[in-house]
Amino acid sequence: MIDGEVWLRSEGAEARILPDAGCRLGSLRARGLELLRTEGERPEEWGSYPMVPWVGRMGGARFEFAGAVHEFPADAPPHALHGLGYRAAWKQVAGDAGSAAFELALADPWPFAGRVEQTFTIRPDGLTTVLRIESDAEAFPAQAGWHPWFRRRLAVGEPLELSFEPAWQEERGPDHLPTGRRIPVAPGPRDDCYGTPGGLDATLLWPGALRLRMTSDCAYTVVYDMPVDHVCVEPETGPPNGLTAPATHLVRPGEPLIATTTWTWTSVGA
């Protein structure tokens, strides 16, 4: 049961945000077309939701930091999936017709005091979303990203075509976690992480309907295109199972982790 919703509207575009369902986009309509999967059997299977304070799978549902091991519920056994934010209720802290901000206090089972803010800003031709993770006291490792479920087919036009140019592909082990080895980009179907060190710049084209350009300052991108009806393109600040990696960002008081993604769309004629 979803108790509340926040609508953002601009000419030709509207977004439905569900604070109590992980502060996700439950719907995004552009030029009269619904772009997202609007329902699913499990919370990780629909809409477009934030992944905080980690992204993707956490191996063995545990990570080590500063000599301590921290364990989490294995909601994708044996791993912990997509962070804590997408299952939580967020609080709206600001908003008007075209923008809104929401906040989540990081709490048990997360062992460090902090908060996350997510802001949405809609325009006639696009949507910008920002995630900000802050520490209240000590330094801690964190990641941020988004997991959108795009419809492979819209109400009109042809099936989705995805194009982007990653610098490398993370080798995926039999446990679905990156091995740490970078390999050449391989053909799909994909449930894989890619290096986008200069930031993501991807095109999602539904011929005869819509072209969406997705840009982000995130240095990694996961693509999941195995489902028959949906495609996920996920900007992330780090790779899955990355909280213990040497390159993981440390959030300190006054030094937040900030990630931004912008979706810009244009109509495409038949």
Supply the DSSP string of the chain, one letter for each residue.
-----EEEEETTEEEEEEGGGTSEEEEEEETTEE-B----SSGGGSSEEEEBSS-SEEGGGEEEETTEEEE---SBTTBEESBSGGGSPPEEEEE-SSEEEEEEEE-TTS-S-EEEEEEEEEETTEEEEEEEEEESSS-EEE--EEEEEEESS-SSSPPPEEE---SEEEEE-TTSSEEEEEE----SS-EEEEE-TT-EEEEEEETTTEEEEEEES-SEEEEE--SSSEEEEEEESS-TT-TTSTTPEEEBTTB-EEEEEEEEEEE---
CA 48 remoteness from chain centre? 7
Cα dihedral 44, 45, 48, 50 in deg (nearest 10) = 10
pLDDT, position 197: 96
pLDDT, position 245: 74
pLDDT band for 269, please (50, 70, 90 cuts).
Answer: confident
d(CA 219, CA 200): 7
pLDDT, position 247: 67
Residue 112 clears pLDDT 60, i.e. is over it: yes
d(CA 270, CA 253): 52
Model confidence pLDDT, tens digit, residues 169-225: 999 999 999 999 999 999 889 999 999 999 999 999 999 999 999 999 999 999 999
Residue 94 clears pLDDT 90, i.e. is over it: yes
pLDDT band for 158, please (50, 70, 90 cuts).
Answer: very high
Which residues partner with 123 through β-bridges? 126
What's the mean per-residue pLDDT of the chain? 95
pLDDT band for 1, please (50, 70, 90 cuts).
Answer: very low
pTM for the complete prediction? 0.96
Supply the DSSP string of 221-236, one letter for each residue.
EEEE--SSSEEEEEEE
Q: How many residues does the chain have?
A: 270
Reading the block at residue 119, the tokens are 């802001």
pLDDT band for 114, please (50, 70, 90 cuts).
Answer: very high
Residue 16 clears pLDDT 50, i.e. is over it: yes
Reading the block at residue 269, the tokens are 């004629």
Model confidence pLDDT, tens digit, residues 69-81: 999 999 999 999 9
Q: Count H helices, E strands: the chain?
A: 0, 25
Domains along the chain with CATH numbers:
6-267 (2.70.98.10)
